[in-house]
Every structure is written in C-alpha cells, then in structure tokens.
Structure 1
Amino acid sequence: MIARSRGNVEIRRVSELDRWTFRASDLFPQITEHELRAASAILGDRFFDQQSHAIVLAIHTYVVRIGTTTVLVDTGNGNGRDRPNLVAHHMFETDYLERLRAARIQPDDVDLVICTHLHPDHCGWNTTLRSGTWRPTFPRAEYLFHRPEFEAMRDLVIGGADNGVQADLIRMWNDSVQPVLDEGRWGLIDTDCVLAAEGDAVITARTAPGHTTGHLIIDIDEAGGGSILCGDVIHHPLQLLFPYLSQGGDSDPSQAAETRAALLRRCIHEGKTMLTAHFPAGVEVSFDSQENTYTCLGDNHSEARASRAQNQLLIG
C-alpha cells in the first residue's frame, strides 16, 4: 500500500501483522480506568476491542524510495523467533515477505535497512532462517545501526542474562543482529545522519531517546511538508490524548514522555505527517496547527478527530 507519494519520494507501508492485541494495563501500566474509558469512547472500535477492552495494535514496516535509493525502515518481528519471556513476540508465522513482494519490493531491491531501535518487533526480518542458519534477508543492503543503540545492546549481550526479558533480547541479538555482523554489510551511524537525498527531498535519521537509549525517528523532508516515521516514540492513539503515558517497555519513561511531546509539537508546528509503527488499520496522523487538531486517517479514509480541548492535552 502506498502510504504517500510526492515528488522524489514514495513511501510504502508493508504490514507484518494487522491486529496485535494487549491488555491495556500490560501495555500502559500507569493508565487509569478514567483514561482508558475516555480514550475508548473517543477513538472507538478501530483502536479498542470493545468486548475484551484490549488495546489493538499492528506491526508496520516502511519502504521509502527516494531517487534510485530504496530504504527499508524497521523489519518487523520475523518468523520462528524463540522469545519465551516476551510471549507476544514468540514464534510468529506470517507472510511478511510475500506482502513485501506484493508491494513490488524484492529483497534484492533494498539498498539500506535501518531499524528505529533494537527491539524484537523492529529488527526481526533482518534475517531469515535458511538451511538451519540465520542469514541476512536483504543481501545487497547495507544495514545501519545507531551507535548508542548498538553499543547499549552489545553491552547487554556481553554481560549476559540467564532469564527474563534480557535473555530474550540476547536471543534477538543472536538471531537478528549477529548474523548481519558476521555476513552482511553494515555500519554505525550517529544522529542527524542523512540516509539519502534527491532534489529537495532528504531522509535523515534523528535521535529520539526514551523508549530505548538510542531510539531513532526517520525524518523525511520534502517540498510542501514531509513525514516522520516515529517508531516506538508513540505506540497507540491514546498517547495523542495522554502523551505522558509511558509504555511498559520504555527504558526511561520520563525521557520517553518528553521526546513524545516534543515530536508531537514539532509535527504540529512544521505540518509533518506522522507514520506510525503500531497504529492499526494503517493509520497515519496529520496535524492542523491553525485548527489545533489532529486527524487519524486509515486505509478506508475513515477519520477520528480530536476536539480543541483534547488536543491541548497533546501539545500541553
């Protein structure tokens, strides 16, 4: 699906998983019953399962074409990954590569792979299992890692862990990162790294810490506006209403909230469209600074608008 195409830039969203549900308290441990009910009433069935009261997410990746360069941003969870402690990520079997090909993207077409951060649902398809060995999925691509994120995860791996979430993160490194280091083309980048440029269009990786130490956003500047691929700076539309709510996986909840608020203010002031990693139904978020509103637009072009009062929470 073409998320947007303008001038020298085309962005295609390729979803690995269309519906991924969580108990609200598991995803947002500090959420109150009042906040949950308010968000559910405003946002509706697309974002909440009204029977179970579960929060609905998805897993999206993005292919950005600028000039002759094809960039894959995030690679989803991947199939067959042993994650006994992170059970929501355990042993997926999806048709992601077929979806990628249906979007007219072959693995050999990809020039750059960059993950917003090194969590299992953002770097899994870095590799695929072939003849019992994890090998890079995109053989021509250069895989780019943000230096602080890479170093923090490498230190965790060196330190070791016997059980729990950290043990699953080490498993992730071993099946989704180490094979790239052993066999693929890869490099480390620092913040504000220009990934590609063509005419007046520029793709830049910028730091957005909090969810992880070295989390990135991918900033696409072009004439008349642009887009931001926000990764896990924001997980669910209820954080548009309550941006102070931290997700359970945030390594630094206070910094994550500051980063989220700053990103939302920037989208409003610069007229940027936010393309999300986990909003269901392929939702993108556009902002109107004059009306002080945001709009969540899905594949079926249905919309959910926030009132002026609700939006003041967003930018407050």
Structure 2
Amino acid sequence: MSWTVGKVRITKIVEMETVGSTRFILPAATNDEIRKLPWLMPHFATDEGRLKMSIHSLVVETPARRIVVDTGLGNDKQGRGVPTWNNRSTPFLESMTAAGFPPDSIDTVLCTHLHVDHVGWNTKLSGGRWVPTFPNARYLFGKTEYEYWRGYTAEPDKVAVFNDSVKPVVDAGQAELIPSDHWLCEEIRVIPTPGHSPGHMSVLIESGGEQALLAGDVAHHPCQMAHLDWCSVVDTDPAQSAASRHKLFSRFADSPTLVIGGHYSAGHIRRDGDAFRFVALQS
C-alpha cells in the first residue's frame, strides 16, 4: 500500500498481520466492547469483535530523502516476551527490495520509540554479529527514549531488545540522538507524544499543502480513539498515554490529514461526541 502527500510518498511494508490474540496488549478491548463500535468493521475488526492489527514499516520518500519509519521485529532475535517473536525467519528484506527499497538505498531510519516491534530490523545477524541492516543510513533515536532504555535493567526481554537492535547501531557510529521536536528535512518533523514510552514521537509530514501523521503507538488500534482511557499493558505512563491521545486526536480531528498508525492502516480522524472515530481510507 502507498499514499501520496504532496511530493512525499509513503509505502507500507508489512512484516506480520494478526486477527485476534491481541488481548494481551489491550485487555479492555473485549469482543463485546469492540462490537459496540460498528465503524471498526470491516477494516479494523471482524464482525465477531476481533481486532485486526499489523506490524509494518513505513518508507517515506521525499524529493531528496528515503526514510524508513520503524523496523518491526526482525529475524533471528532471541529473548522476546512473545514466543512467536523469537527466532523469526521471514523474507521482509526481500519484500522491501521487491517494492523498490533495497536496504542500501535507505538514507535514514527513524524509530518512533524503542520497543521490540519497532526496532527489530535495525540490525541483522551477519557472521555471528549484529550489524546495521541499512548500511548507508543514519538512525535517528529520540534522546529521551534512548537514555531511558540504555539504563533499563528491570525486564530481561527489553534489555535483550536494546542490546541486539539498538546498541549495535550506536557502536557502528550510525546513530544520532534527536530531540522530540526535531526537523528531519523540509517536509518532515517529529512531535512529542509520550506516555506509551517515555520519549515516544510521532511523525508529521507536510508537503504541497497536504499533511500526514504517522502516529506510531500513541494508539495501538483505532478502538482507542473511542476509548481514550484504554491503555496498552506496556504503556510506561498510562495517564500520560491517554493525555497524548486526546491532544493528538483533537489536533487532527475533522481535518484532511492522512493518519497511519504503527499497527493499523490509513484513514481520517473524526470527532464523535467526547471522543473520536476513525474512517478508513478506501483503497
């Protein structure tokens, strides 16, 4: 899937799609509750109330840059908290190349945050070592985010993610730590949306009088637009996460801004009483 915003093109490269089995991330999103939100069907949920989600990367092409936003789970990784995320072997890089984006053509990698499903393809296993997957890219990590996880030791799975998917990039000299209001180029900047993680950032694209928002994990699923207080079990600060959702959705609601989530596809935010709903972009 791809979308055009002025002179910028956004292409989604899917690593994994899931239906259901998402209660571990959004426990409030029961089948009964989801069926009360018929606007989620069929794009974001099944008629039975099971959530549809994906893990994907977004390639953003400007007239001068080729940027990958978030890098999924990766192959060959160990110590993940979800068993099916361990020791994966998928043709993700081949899919990127077939779509016209070989790894050596990428000049920038931007991680909205440093969770397991957003940094995995930062590195690949080569000769028994983790090396940057994108050899010609600068990797942009939020300074607040990086400093939090660099010193984090409480959960072994999160330590493993940092050690195999973040630290090797820094050791290779390809990382740059950025503030949460950084401009990448004329068309693209990040905006602070903390809560899901301490330094979570979303990406704002502006070109030719058009806008797109790559929201990352401000919301894992559009059902959180209707229920701003539905938080992920891995949110660092649930209250701040809910506040970021309200602020961000209020800013872009009822506008033509194209919105793409870290785990759901494109649409537009609309006000719905005291909350919001998401209208899928018809392909």
TM-score using structure 2 length: 0.91
Q: SS at the partner of 2:89?
A: coil
Deviations along 1:164-189, whole A, 9 cap, x unmatched?
A: xx201110111101111111411111
Shift of 1:87: 2.9
Q: Secondary structure at the residue paired with 2:233?
A: coil
Q: Is residue 223 of structure 2 the alignment partner of residue 227 of structure 1?
A: no
Whether the 8 Å CA contact 1:193–1:205 is kept in 2: the answer is yes
Deviation, 1:17, is 1.2
User: What displacement does 1:37 show?
Assistant: 3.2
> Percent of pairs identical after alignment?
34
Q: How does 1:162-181 map to 2 (within 5 A)?
A: 166-181=155-170
Please say which of residues 66-75 and 41-50 is displaced more in the overlay.
41-50
- Residues in 2 aligned to 1:169 and 1:293: alpha-carbon distance in whole angstroms: 32
Q: Which residue of 2 aligns with 1:43?
A: 40
* Structure 1 residue runs without a partner (length 5+): 302-316
Letter of the structure 1 residue corresponding to residue 203 of structure 2:
I
Offset at 1:33?
6.5
Q: How many residue pairs get matched?
A: 280
Contact 1:112 1:141 in 2 (8 A): yes
Question: How far apart in 1 are the matches of 2:210 and 2:270?
Answer: 12
* Aligned 1:54-133 pairs, distance under 5 A: 54-133=50-129
Residue deviations 1:65-106, cap 9 Å, x none?
111211111011101111353335323222110111121001
- Report the Cα distance in structure 1 between the residues aligned to 2:65 and 2:34, rounded to whole angstroms: 42
Work out whether residues 219 and 261 of structure 2, in 8 Å CA contact, stay in contact via their aligned partners in 1.
yes
Q: Secondary structure at the match of 2:119?
A: helix
Q: Does residue 217 of structure 1 match 2:202? A: yes
Whether the 8 Å CA contact 1:210–1:252 is kept in 2: the answer is: yes
Change beyond 3 A, Cα 1:249–1:293 = closer
Task: Tell whether the 8 Å contact from 1:136 to 1:184 is kept in structure 2 after alignment.
Answer: no
1:191 aligns with 180
1:16 Cα deviation after fit: 1.1
* Partners of 1:207 and 1:216 within 8 A in 2: yes
Secondary structure of 2:219's match? coil
Q: Please provide the CA RMSD for this pair.
A: 2.2
Where do residues 7-46 of structure 1 align in structure 2 (5 Å cutoff)? 7-19=6-18, 21-24=20-23, 26-31=24-29, 34-39=32-37, 41-46=38-43
2:163 and 2:207 map into 1 onto residues whose CA distance is 37
What is the TM-score when the length of structure 1 is the normalising length? 0.82
User: SS of the residue aligned with 2:216?
Assistant: coil
Change (3 A) 1:46 1:92: farther
* Residues 143-199 of structure 1: per-residue CA shift (max 9 Å, x gap): 11100000000110xxx34xxxx20111011110111111141111112111012xx
